[in-house]
Structure 1
Amino acid sequence: MSGKNITAKQPAGKSSPFLSELTLDCVILGFHEDQLKVLLLRWRGTQEWSLPGGPIRKEESVDQAACRILKERTGLKDIFLQQFQLFGDVERYNRNEIKEKLKHLVEPEKWFERAVSVGYYALVDYPKVAPTPDAFTEECQWWGIDEIPSLLFDHNHLIKIALESLRIQLSWQPIGYKLLPEQFTLPELQRLYETILGRTLDPRNFQRKMLGLGILYRLETRRKGGAHKAPYLYRFNKQHYKAMLTKGSLFFS
């Protein structure tokens, strides 16, 4: 969470266990019911929301800090993480406004005068996540990517940049099998790509491209319960998928 020094008051002569003025902000993404979702935290005693994050301990690497924070918020290990940008503008947001809104939780002098934040996005299997608030928040909840409220700090901007990075990296990162369940339909796969790209794809062209790449196994079972003819279920051939990512072959013009 940008700008917050969450350490307790240190005894005289003892330094903080955290790096000063450096924090993490994590855009945790899941895909559920044909919708890309992001995990947000609501601060105690307020209706104010923000991204998960926090300071970095002196004895851990930046990646280790991100893994620790993500495990605390989701309950998951071995999450796919990608560092996407460093946010270091001098005036990233109105610090006085933040201090006033959250003064019942954090003493105003505890906030960093300036915080440089390392931005990560994480791709998770939605049903496996156990959303868990931290010491300063009382709710941890998924929000649809098109329904995000006005967030504290500069976190709306962070999400915007994370999604732009995700679109750029769509052709060479394992986004499909990190966000989808093990078995899925072609319409579900198409909807994932459309949600990330922010535009509609022609179904015939999409299916022809995906099937032609050889990255999918068609199963003998079908998705049941829909109003139309039940589509076949597929799963990824991860070896071929990784080979196509190396070539950048999943690009959609």
Structure 2
Amino acid sequence: MMDSKDPVVQYYQEVSEQCIHYLSIDGVIFGFHQNQLKVLLLRWKGTNEWSLPGGFIRKAESVDKAAQRIMQERTGLQELYLRQFHVFGEALRYDQEATWQKINLPIKGVNWSERTISLGYYALVEHSKVVPTPDFLTEECRWWSLEEIPALLFDHNHIIEVALQSLRSQLGDLPISHLLPDIFTIPELQRLHETILGHPLDARNFYKKVMASNVLQRLSERRAGTPHKAPYLYRFRTGSTSAEPYSGIDYVD
């Protein structure tokens, strides 16, 4: 029998009362740092098990507002660019019993352990502005590069793969300016495209396409500390990152 005074049990009981059953949000929060595309992950209390941020939808809020709330709580940001990219509704998404045992949750008999359909959202954030914050069930929240992501709980490795595929397919109209700092170099912008696409790009052709977009302003300063000739710094022209965010260059593999 479950101990109703257990804080974890109380947490799930409150969620059961306040939220829509069998429907959840899973969030893939992308950031770009040190020329790598990274994802924010959570480590569950008392374990070495990691998962994506996520949560449930309150009965009085829309799914988009629920996604905003969940992502805001994990990043400390008030405004995020979000896009719903997939619905994960397979009948057997993962081994439920084995998963709950890994994270030591005393939830036998609680309806949240039954089948749940998940709405996948991804967020594009500027890495340096994020304050990674764990939730009630976790004790660590930090960035992982795509190449280093471990085996995750639930079906979250699959969710990241689908999110990345969505980024690649939508690159031509994706406001990737949200991933960049205010000032950057053309090589850094190219590397962002390359890490999303998963393959290198010709530097000369990339430069021509970016310049043809006419959204960048070259500054007089150069990036110091680079091993080769210091590249010029750029920023988006006024309005390019707000009303009309810069979209990625549309490359076809």
What TM-score do the two structures reach when normalised by structure 1? Answer: 0.90
Structure 1 residues 182 and 6, CA gap change in structure 2 (3 angstroms):
farther
Matches within 5 A, 1:51-130: 51-103=52-104, 105-110=105-110, 111-130=112-131
Structure 1 residues 220 and 60, CA gap change in structure 2 (3 angstroms):
same
CA contact (8 A) 1:6 1:55 kept: no
CA contact (8 A) 1:7 1:16 kept: no
2:4 is matched with none
Distance 1:88 1:7 in 2: 25
Counterpart amino acid of residue 217 in structure 2: Y
Distance 1:244 1:234 in 2: 13
What TM-score do the two structures reach when normalised by structure 2? Answer: 0.90
1:252 is matched with 251
1:180 is matched with 180
Distance 1:73 1:28 in 2: 9
Deviation at 1:68, TM superposition (A): 0.8
Tell me the secondary structure at the aligned position of residue 171 of structure 2: coil
Work out the number of aligned pairs and report it: 241
Deviation at 1:102, TM superposition (A): 2.1
Distance 1:6 1:158 in 2: 29
Tell me the secondary structure at the aligned position of residue 13 of structure 2: coil
Structure 1, gaps ≥5 residues long: none
RMSD of equivalent CA atoms:
2.0
Structure 2, gaps ≥5 residues long: 1-7
Distance 1:90 1:5 in 2: 26
Distance 1:71 1:146 in 2: 25
- Residue 189, structure 1, aligned to residue 189, structure 2: yes
Instruction: List per-residue Cα deviations over 1:107-162 (Å, max 9, x = no partner).
Output: 23233311000000000110110001011111001000111000000000000000
CA contact (8 A) 1:7 1:18 kept: no
Distance 1:240 1:72 in 2: 27
Structure 1 residues 55 and 243, CA gap change in structure 2 (3 angstroms):
closer
Structure 1 residues 192 and 18, CA gap change in structure 2 (3 angstroms):
same
Deviation at 1:243, TM superposition (A): 8.7
Structure 1 residues 54 and 243, CA gap change in structure 2 (3 angstroms):
closer
Q: Identity over the aligned pairs, expressed in percent?
A: 54
* 1:9 aligned residue (9, 13, 16): 13
